Amino acid sequence: MQKTVVAVLLLPLFFQACVQKKQLQYMQDVEKLSDYSPPKHEYVIQPGDLLYVRILTIDMAFHEMFEPDTRNRERVMTNEAGLFIEGYSVNEQGYIKLPLLNDIHVAGHTTEGAKKQVQKKVDELFKDAKVDLKLLNFKVTVMGEVVRPGVYNNYLNQFTLFDALAKAGNITEYGNRRNVLIMRQGNKGTSTMHVDLTSAGVLQSEAYYLRPNDVIIVEPNTTRVFSLNVPTFSFAFSAISTFLLLLNFFK
C-alpha cells in the first residue's frame, strides 16, 4: 500500500522529467512563414571597433606596410592578441589611421561601405590597387546548456543566432529551446531579448541577426532541473517510505 502511495506522489515528477519530441524541434511552425525571408542585417561600424585592412598593389614598399612577413602574419593571426596587433582601431571620432593614407572616416558604414572609403583614398595614390577590409572584433558568447560553451569569432558580414549555436555544438537535450536569452550592449546600456527557437517567429526577431559582443544564454529545461534534484528526490522517497513503514508498524 505504501509503495502505491509513494508511486502516485512521484508520478507527476517523472512525467515532468521526460523529454518530449516537441521540446527538441526547431521552428515547428515554419510552414506559416514559407514565403518569408528574414530582412538582411549588416553591422554598422562603430567607434572602438577593430578592422583588418589589406591593400594589394604592385608597389612593394607600400604593399609591405599592410602585408607583414607571411610567417609572422600566420603567427599573429592565430590568437586574439595577434588580431589586435594586426588590426586598426576606430577612434572616438570614427576614423582609422592608415600608413600614407592618413585618417579615413569609417564609422556609420558597413564593412563594404568602409572598404569603398579606403578604396577611394588608395585610388588617389595607386592604380589597380585592391582593398580588403574585415571586422575583427565580431565575437559572441554562448553559455548554458550547449555542447561547447565559449566565445566565438565571426568574420562574415552576417551572423545569425543559429550560426552561433551551431558553432557551440547545438543545444543539448537539457536546454530550454523555448526561452533563449540574448543580452546585447548598446549606447543606452544592456538590453535583453527572449526568443522561442521552436517557433518560426524567431526569424522575425531582432535577435535573429547577432551583433558584436552579444551574449546567448540557453537556460536548463525541467529535465535538467529534475536530474540535478534526483538525490533530493531519492532522499524524500526513502523518508516517505520509512514514515509509511513506521506508520504501518505502529498501527
The C-alpha cell at 234 is 531519492
pLDDT at 179 over 60: yes
Give the DSSP per-residue string, 37-83: -PPP--PPP-TT-EEEEEEE-S-HHHHHHHS--HHHHHHHTTSHHHH
Picking from 97-106, 184-193, 198-207, 218-227, which range would have the lowest pLDDT averaged per residue? Answer: 218-227
The CATH number for 21-41+138-220, chosen from 3.40.50.300, 2.170.120.12, 3.40.50.620, 3.10.560.10, is 3.10.560.10
**Among 81, 52, 48, CA closest to 186:** 48
| pLDDT tens digit sequence for 5-59 | 444 445 454 444 444 545 556 656 556 666 666 666 778 898 989 998 888 877 6
Distances (CA, A) of 217 to 136, 146, 232, 245, 249: 23, 9, 26, 45, 51
The helix/strand/coil state of 187 is: coil
Q: What mean pLDDT do residues 109-124 have?
A: 93
Q: What mean pLDDT do residues 149-156 have?
A: 88
Q: What mean pLDDT do residues 218-242 have?
A: 63
CATH code linked to domain 50-135: 3.30.1950.10
pTM over the 0.85 mark: no
